Amino acid sequence: MSALLREYPDAPRAGVGAVVLDDERVVLVRRGQPPSQGKWSIPGGLIHLGERIEEAVLREVEEECGLRVRLLGVCGVIDRITRGDRSEGDVVPVRYHYVIVDFVAAPTGGSLRAGGDAADARWVPIAELDQYETTDGLAVMIHRAVRLCRAGQGGFIG
């Protein structure tokens, strides 16, 4: 999908993300494109027309970081809204609006490497998250995913 269709949309865009956990580490990717260019986040992206949500998250993880994963459950749903720089009267239009379903996932294969629109990909110890410039709310979502895994819970998939 072109950047023009993502910017100043007439409706929110549906996306997915994956908190890929391995022991006390999480996969982070550095965003190579706006919005959030240069910030660290979890792998994810937009759902393609006709694509099931589970297929989208599996595809995005493999594209952005080279890993195959098993989905363990849903850990959260977020709105990511960015206002534009230009104003129309008293109203500042929405430049980006995503509704994102984040999953908890475990690696099953592949090798970690940056791909797609990710400028970098790495395993990061969860205890070191605060050393990275991350997208808003990312640490909260990662800690929620860890708690769900430890409790043996996760949202319904399917």
The pTM of the full predicted model, rounded to 2 decimals, is 0.88
User: Domain ranges in the chain?
Assistant: 3-150
> How many other C-beta atoms lie within 10 A of the C-beta of residue 22?
12
What pLDDT sits at residue 132? 98
| CATH class as words, domain 3-150 | alpha beta
What is residue 144's predicted lDDT score, i.e. its pLDDT?
95
Q: Is the peptide bond before 34 cis (omega within 30 degrees of 0)?
A: no
* pLDDT of 63: 97
CA dihedral 82, 40, 43, 118 (to 10 degrees): 100
Res 9: pLDDT: 77
List the pLDDT tens digit at each of the 158 positions of the chain: 444 457 787 889 999 999 999 989 999 999 998 888 999 999 999 999 999 999 999 999 999 999 999 999 999 999 988 888 766 677 778 888 999 999 999 999 999 999 998 999 999 999 999 999 999 999 999 999 999 988 875 554 44
Match 């865009």 to its residue by tokens: 13
d(C-alpha 89, C-alpha 82), whole Å: 18
